Every structure is written in structure tokens, then in C-alpha cells.
């Protein structure tokens, strides 16, 4: 149990025994709300405070000041009990031996900011709210495997799954699926969800702050929740969460002018950020989870119907040579700086899941790549600098979305590949088209009308099963399934699918981690995809702001109750 939750339990116990005493301590020390206003800048403004109606990160994080889940994820990707007493496991009896149910126990004495008690009925309601047909709930995938929720006691909720669930921590863990107050949203089910604008813009929560005012697309004002379970926090009386502008102006407002205390998601060039930080008003902070920028090879001839194997890329040696020609360290330093690090894994975290078997992938080896290509029979016979075989030139179409760093990476790769005798044509597609999944457009990630493409992908939460299942044979997008699926390169290996199947039946977390590492190694060692950069989140905070612990697994504002103003 973490120090924090011990403190929480003690605080709640105190409150239960002698409520008057506890509140008088708070009044005497004046700890809650003594640090004035905290000014946070999100350059993408939140558009709603109901995370179930918008899957956007900005909205989920803004709501996390108010709405809380049963368990949060720590900066290391570990589960911390939050509104729950502890994390249910098979060992402590919270998870049934048949892996079909999980029993969550709420902390006693919890109240919503309006003073009413938090009960297991709120848990059951939140599930009903998200699964009501016609709501368009963004987090439906988290609840999909649930069959029903039973509430045997006011503080106990049992979640029953339709199938045995080796990793039952999808619903109510992490900032995407917090508890909603049943009383507030009772009339907002299904198609009525949008009609509850008032509730969507000012949900009642259990968090350290409550909503005072919300202006969609612009700003939100929060004030300290008088009913918050820890008597001495939050230290700030008010939070202004301002949205809008761009990453540049956000970085400037914290690092250069000091107008704001915290700026979120500063995707800026490393040189720009470093220059801003030299003014000494604030500092840059980074956190890493599983977001990996990668190259994927098309193992089919682009656009071929029925699919033909790719004449060059279906050969593992060719994929390996292309990978060896890249200098990942240079790419990270050039494009990301502190916001990225070299990785040789498609699954770089949590630590237990990261394989150590692929070290050294990042070293550039142009000579080795040239030798490898010569062995495959691709030789430059006509002396034009580009290898050929049986009259076909070794030329690839390399596509990605429009984005300054990605175009720099394309140019770097093109140059390195030129040096090993491979010609590359570059193509950049607008992100709103490339990532649209629109089956009518030929330019999507899934249609993959090119030989090589670059994009970023991440595992949703610390359990990688769903993420790794993205390389299963049946996850390949094609005309039959409406161009859906994450296996865009059409790689298919029955051994990989068999391992995945084992993972889906394994409950022990240590075994799961070992299987995940094995799956990761298959992807990396068969050059299905080339991990380029482990991308982190970069934010900045004022030097006068204490308690910030940036978190890439949960909301960045997950521990805002502990944030405080440093003296001086």
C-alpha cells in the first residue's frame, strides 16, 4: 500500500470518528485552499467535462480534477487504489478463481462534492450510462466485456465478465473511466446524453476540486471541494484551466513570462524548448509510457487485389537492411530531445514488460546493410546508384502524416537509404485523413497504399494484450472487414497467434509479462515494424509549483491535490 493511500485511510478514519475535530484541524492550520489560484494552460481547450462523451485526452484530463476512478495508475504504470480500499486480486480473494468476476470495495465515508454518499450504485450506474444504446460513449470498449454489475452492499460492487478475464482491470481503472454520480446523470441515458449540457459541463465528483464555471473550448474554473476526503488538501483554493493557442505560446507562458504555472503537452522542437527553459522561470518535465513511433513495412504489393506478396519487403533480409541503415539516436536527438528516447521494443513499458533481448538495434550499420542487400540479389547493375533485380528498381513509397518531425524523419531515412542504394519516394498525408479510418479514402493508415509507413501507436493502459493482438493474422485490414484492424502490414505468423492465445488465458501478472516480452521480441526480430522513438509526454511547470509528478499512464493532473506553492 502506498504512503498516499495510508494517509487517505487515516484521514478518513479520523473524519469518521470525530468529524468536528478533523475539520477544526483544517481550519486552524488553514492548509486547504491557502495557496491561492493555480493557473494551468492546455493549448487544446477542453470541450466538455464528461469523459464518456469525448475520448479526447484534453477532456479526460480536465475532468480528472473532479471525477475519480476506483484505481489510478502511477507514473510507473502500477495500479494505486484511489476510491477503492485496495486492488482486488486472485490472491486477496477480490478476483474470482474462475476469472469471471472482480469485487471492488469502496473506501468508507466517501462523499460527492454535494455531500451525498458515494455508493456501489454509482458504480453500477456509470456502467449503465456508458453502455446505454445511442449514447455514443467513447469508453464503451472498456466496459464491453462486462456482463453485469451487482451491488451486494452499499460499498461493494461485483463486476461479472462474459468471458474469463485474466486482466480484469479495464473498467474504473485510470482516468478514462471515472465514477459518475447516479443522481446527477439519471435522466441522461442513451440518446438523452447530449441534452444534459449542465451535467456534462459541471459533473459532480469526488475529486479535490469542483467545477465553478466551464466555457467549452476556452476555460474552466474550479474551486477546492469542501467535502474532499483529505482534510488538508488541496492546497490551492482555485484552479484556472485555460485552453487555446498552440504549444509554442503555452511553453512561453510558463517558461518565459511566468503567466501560468503549468503547461501541458509541449510538442516543440528540442532546441526551442531548451531555449525557453534557459530563462529560469520554470522547468520541463517528461514521462514515458508506451507510445512508440514506428516504421511498418507492407508485406503485400500496395493496392493489389487479390493480395500479392511484396517482391522486396516480404524478404526479412530486406526489412532488416532498411532497419540497420537508420540511426535512431540521431533521429531522437534531432526530432524529440528530452521528449523521446531510443527504444528497441514495440512495447517499451511498464518496466516488467520491456524486453532486454533487443539491445543494440539503434546502432547504424550502413556497410552491414549494403552486404545484406547484395546477398539478397539486389545489385546496382546499371550504375544509377539504385539497386535492381530482374529489371525492377529497388524503390519504395514511404508515407506518413503531415507533421514537421515526421517529414524530417522521412528526409533522414531517404538519405540513409540512398546511401545503401535504395530509392525512396516520400508522401505526406494530412493527419485528419491519414488517421480517419475512412474506408472510402485510399490515403488512410489502414489502406496502406505505399511500401513503408510511419506512425505512432500505444498500448491502452499497462496491460498490453489488446495492443499486441494488433499483430494477429485476423487483425489485418482488408476489403472484407471494411479496412479495419491494426495489422496494417499484413504480417501473419501462426506461432504469434498461438502465443497471443496463451496470453489471453494467463492470469498471473509475472507470466503475462514474460509472454508479452516474447511477443514483442517476435515483432522486433522479424522486422515486422521498426521502433524508432519511445515518445514521452512533455510538460512544463513554474519553479514555484511543488508536488508535480507527471504521469503518462493516467491524467497528468492525477495528484493535483498534492500540488502546492513553494515558498520564495
Partner 1 sequence: MRFYALRRLAMALPTLLVISAVIFALLDLAPGDPMAQLPDTIPPDVRDDMRAALGMGRPAPVRYGLWLWQMVVVEPGIFLGLIPEDAATRILSWQTRAPVMTQIAQRLPQTIIVMGSAYALGITIAIGLGILSAWRRGGAIDQAGTGLAAIGYALPPFFTAAVLIYIFAIQLNWAPTIYDTTLRVTGWDSLAAQLRQMALPIAVLSLQTTAQITRYMRAAMLETLGQEYIRAARAKGLRERTVLMVHALRNSMIPVVPVIALGAPQIFAGAIITESIFGVNGIGQLLLISLRAGDLPVVQTVTVLIAALIVLANLASDLALPWLDPRLRDA
449 in contact with partner 1 (CB under 8 A): no
Q: By CB under 8 A, is residue 57 in contact with partner 1?
A: yes
Site membership for partner 1, residue 240 (CB under 8 A): yes
Q: What is the DSSP letter of 300?
A: B
Stretch that binds partner 1, among 3-11, 12-20, 51-59, 384-392 (CB under 8 A): 51-59
Shorter beta-carbon distance to partner 1: residue 367 or 430: 430
Q: What's the rounded Cα separation, in Å, for the pair 529 and 82?
A: 37
- What are the cell numbers at 503? 496470453
State yes or no: residue 242 binds partner 1 (CB under 8 A).
yes
Distance between CA atoms of residues 209 and 75, nearest Å: 21
Question: From the CB of 216, what's the least distance to partner 1, in Å?
Answer: 4
221 binds partner 1 (CB under 8 A): yes
Asked if 138 and 53 touch (Cβ cutoff 8 Å), the reply is: yes
CB of 565 to partner 1, least distance (A): 19
**CB-wise, 157 or 263, nearer to partner 1?**
263
Which of the ranges 66-74, 134-142, 322-330, 420-428 carries the binding residues for partner 1, by CB under 8 A?
134-142
**Identified binder of partner 1 from the candidate list 5, 9, 25, 56, rule CB under 8 A:** 56
Q: Whose CA is closest to 107, among 88, 86, 80, 90?
A: 86
CB of 185 to partner 1, least distance (A): 13
Contact by Cβ (8 Å): 159, 102: yes
Stretch near partner 1 under the rule CB under 8 A, chosen from 11-19, 218-226, 328-336, 357-365: 218-226
Numbers of helices and strands, H then E, in the chain: 17, 20
Site size toward partner 1 (CB under 8 A) is 58
Closer to partner 1 at the Cβ: 45 or 476? 45
Q: Which of 75, 164, 368, 457 binds partner 1 (CB under 8 A)?
A: 457
CA distance 369 to 43: 43
| By CB under 8 A, residue 41 contacts partner 1 | yes
CA distance 106 to 83: 6
- Distances in Å between the Cα of 49 and the Cα atoms of 64, 113, 175, 305, 475 are 9, 15, 12, 45, 33
- In the complex, least distance from residue 155 CB atom to partner 1, rounded to whole angstroms: 30
Q: By the 8 A CB rule, do 220 and 38 touch?
A: no
Between 86 and 438, CB nearer to partner 1:
438
Determine, following the binding rule CB under 8 A, whether residue 488 of this chain makes contact with partner 1: no
> Can you tell me the distance from the alpha carbon of 367 to that of 375, in angstroms, rounded to the nearest whole number?
12
From the list 70-78, 436-444, 494-502, 529-537, the region that binds partner 1 by CB under 8 A is 436-444
Site for partner 1 in 249-308 (CB under 8 A): 249, 252-253, 256-257, 259-260
Which one of residues 154, 194, 303, 311 is an interface residue with partner 1 (CB under 8 A)?
Answer: 194
- Rounded CA separation 234/38 (Å): 11
Stretch that binds partner 1, among 240-248, 352-360, 533-541, 554-562 (CB under 8 A): 240-248
- Residue 141 contacts partner 1 per CB under 8 A: yes
Buried b / exposed e along 115-145 (16+ C-beta atoms within 10 A): eeebbbebbbbbbbbbbbeebebbbeebbeb
Question: Which range binds partner 1 by CB under 8 A, 178-186, 194-202, 301-309, 331-339?
Answer: 194-202
| Distance of alpha carbon 350 from alpha carbon 191, whole angstroms | 38
146 binds partner 1 (CB under 8 A): no
- Among 9, 374, 436, 525, the residue binding partner 1 under the rule CB under 8 A is 436
CB of 62 to partner 1, least distance (A): 12
Coil, strand or helix: which one is 416? Answer: helix
User: Cβ(371)–Cβ(401) under 8 Å?
Assistant: no
Residue closer to partner 1 by CB (options 117, 141) is 141
User: Which of these segments, 71-79, 151-159, 248-256, 368-376, binds partner 1 (CB under 8 A)?
Assistant: 248-256
Phi and psi at 275, nearest 5°, equal -65, -40
Tell which one of 433, 492, 509, 522 touches partner 1 (CB under 8 A). 433
Instruction: By CB under 8 A, tell whether 543 contacts partner 1.
Output: no
The interface region with partner 1, picked from 247-255, 356-364, 382-390, 509-517 by CB under 8 A, is 247-255
Specify the DSSP class assigned to residue 321: H
Q: Give the phi and the psi of residue 477 in degrees, each rounded to 5.
A: -75, 135
The smaller minimum CB distance to partner 1, of residues 19 and 134, is found at 134
| Out of 108, 164, 244, 368, the residue judged to bind partner 1 by CB under 8 A | 244
Give the count of alpha carbons within 13 A of 264, CB side only: 23
- Give the other-Cβ count within 10 Å of 67's Cβ: 25
Q: For residues 38 and 137, which CB has a smaller minimum distance to partner 1 in the complex?
A: 137
User: Nearest 5°: phi and psi at 551?
Assistant: -135, 120
| Contact flag: residue 202 with partner 1 (CB under 8 A) | no
Is 12 or 550 the residue whose CB approaches partner 1 more closely? 550
Cα–Cα distance for residue pair 469/465, rounded to 1 Å: 6
197 binds partner 1 (CB under 8 A): yes
| Cβ 190 to partner 1 shortest distance, Å | 9
Q: In the bound complex, what is the minimum distance in angstroms from residue 273's beta carbon to partner 1?
A: 16
Whether omega for the bond prior to residue 234 falls within 30 degrees of 0, making it cis, is yes
The residues near 83 (Cβ < 8 Å, ≥ 6 apart) are: 68, 69, 70, 71, 106, 107, 110, 118, 179, 206
CB nearer to partner 1: pick between 57 and 107: 57
Q: Which residues touch 91 (CB under 8 Å, ≥6 apart)?
A: none
State how beta strands 37-42 and 262-263 pair: parallel
By CB under 8 A, residue 74 contacts partner 1? no
Give the CA dihedral 152, 155, 160, 165, nearest 10 degrees.
-140
In the complex, which residues of this chain contact partner 1 (CB under 8 A)? 41, 45, 47-48, 53-57, 134-141, 191, 193-195, 197, 200-201, 213, 215-219, 221, 240, 242-246, 249, 252-253, 256-257, 259-260, 430-433, 435-438, 441, 457-460, 484
Amino acid at each position: 500500500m502506498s504512503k498516499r493511500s495510508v494517509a487517505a485511510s487515516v484521514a478518513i478514519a479520523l473524519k469518521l470518528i470525530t468529524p468536528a475535530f478533523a475539520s477544526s484541524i483544517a481550519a486552524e492550520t488553514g492548509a486547504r485552499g491557502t495557496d491561492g489560484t493555480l493557473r494551468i494552460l492546455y493549448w487544446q481547450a477542453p470541450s466538455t467535462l464528461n469523459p464518456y462523451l469525448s475520448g479526447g485526452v484534453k477532456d479526460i484530463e480536465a475532468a480528472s480534477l473532479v471525477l475519480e476512478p476506483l484505481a489510478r495508475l502511477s507514473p510507473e504504470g502500477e495500479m494505486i487504489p484511489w476510491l477503492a480500499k485496495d486492488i482486488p486480486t486472485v490472491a486477496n480473494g477480490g478476483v474470482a478463481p474462475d476469472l469471471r468476476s472482480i469485487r471492488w470495495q469502496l473506501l468508507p465515508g466517501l462523499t460527492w462534492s454535494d455531500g451525498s454518499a458515494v455508493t456501489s450504485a454509482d458504480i453500477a450506474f456509470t456502467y449503465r450510462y456508458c453502455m446505454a444504446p445511442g449514447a455514443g460513449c467513447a469508453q464503451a470498449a472498456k466496459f464491453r466485456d462486462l456482463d453485469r454489475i451487482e451491488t451486494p452492499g452499499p460499498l461493494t460492487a461485483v463486476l461479472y465478465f462474459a468471458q474469463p478475464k485474466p486482466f480484469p482491470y479495464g473498467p474504473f481503472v485510470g482516468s478514462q473511466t471515472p465514477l459518475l454520480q447516479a443522481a446527477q446523470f439519471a435522466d441522461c441515458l442513451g440518446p438523452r446524453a447530449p441534452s444534459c449540457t449542465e451535467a456534462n459541463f459541471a459533473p459532480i465528483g469526488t475529486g479535490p476540486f469542483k467545477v465553478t464555471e466551464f466555457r467549452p473550448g476556452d476555460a474552466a474554473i474550479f474551486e477546492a471541494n469542501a467535502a474532499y476526503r483529505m482534510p488538508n488538501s488541496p492546497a490551492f483554493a482555485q484552479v484556472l484551466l485555460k485552453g487555446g493557442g498552440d504549444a509554442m505560446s503555452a511553453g512561453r507562458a510558463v517558461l518565459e513570462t511566468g503567466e501560468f504555472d503549468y503547461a501541458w503537452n509541449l510538442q516543440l522542437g528540442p532546441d526551442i524548448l531548451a531555449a525557453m527553459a534557459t530563462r529560469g522561470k520554470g522547468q520541463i518535465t517528461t514521462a514515458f509510457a508506451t507510445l512508440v513511433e514506428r516504421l511498418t513495412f507492407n508485406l503485400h504489393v500496395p493496392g493489389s487485389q487479390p493480395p500479392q506478396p511484396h517482391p522486396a519487403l516480404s524478404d526479412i533480409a530486406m526489412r532488416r537492411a532498411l532497419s540497420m541503415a537508420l540511426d535512431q539516436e540521431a533521429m531522437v536527438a534531432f526530432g524529440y530531445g528530452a521528449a523521446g528516447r531510443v527504444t528497441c521494443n514495440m512495447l517499451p513499458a511498464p518496466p516488467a514488460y520491456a524486453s532486454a533481448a533487443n539491445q543494440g538495434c539503434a546502432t547504424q550499420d550502413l556497410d552491414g546493410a549494403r552486404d545484406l542487400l547484395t546477398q539478397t540479389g539486389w545489385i546496382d547493375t546499371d550504375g544509377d546508384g539504385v539497386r535492381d533485380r530482374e529489371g525492377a528498381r529497388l524503390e519504395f513509397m514511404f508515407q506518413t502524416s503531415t507533421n514537421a518531425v515526421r517529414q524530417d524523419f522521412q528526409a533522414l531515412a531517404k538519405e540513409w537509404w540512398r546511401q545503401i542504394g535504395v530509392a525512396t519516394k516520400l508522401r505526406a498525408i494530412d493527419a485528419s485523413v491519414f488517421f480517419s479510418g475512412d474506408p472510402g479514402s485510399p490515403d488512410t493508415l489502414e489502406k496502406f497504399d505505399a511500401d513503408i509507413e510511419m506512425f505512432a501507436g500505444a498500448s491502452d493502459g499497462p496491460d498490453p494484450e489488446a495492443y499486441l493482438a494488433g499483430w494477429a493474422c485476423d487483425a489485418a485490414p482488408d476489403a472484407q472487414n471494411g479496412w479495419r484492424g491494426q495489422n496494417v502490414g499484413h504480417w501473419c505468423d501462426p506461432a504469434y497467434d498461438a502465443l497471443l492465445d496463451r496470453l489471453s488465458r494467463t492470469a498471473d501478472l509475472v507470466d503475462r509479462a514474460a509472454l508479452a516480452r516474447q511477443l514483442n521480441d517476435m515483432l522486433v526480430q522479424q522486422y515486422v515494424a521498426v521502433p524508432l522513438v519511445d515518445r514521452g509526454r512533455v510538460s512544463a511547470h513554474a519553479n514555484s509549483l511543488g508536488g508535480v509528478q507527471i504521469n503518462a499512464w493516467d491524467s497528468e493532473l492525477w495528484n493535483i491535490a498534492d500540488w502546492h506553492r513553494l515558498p520564495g
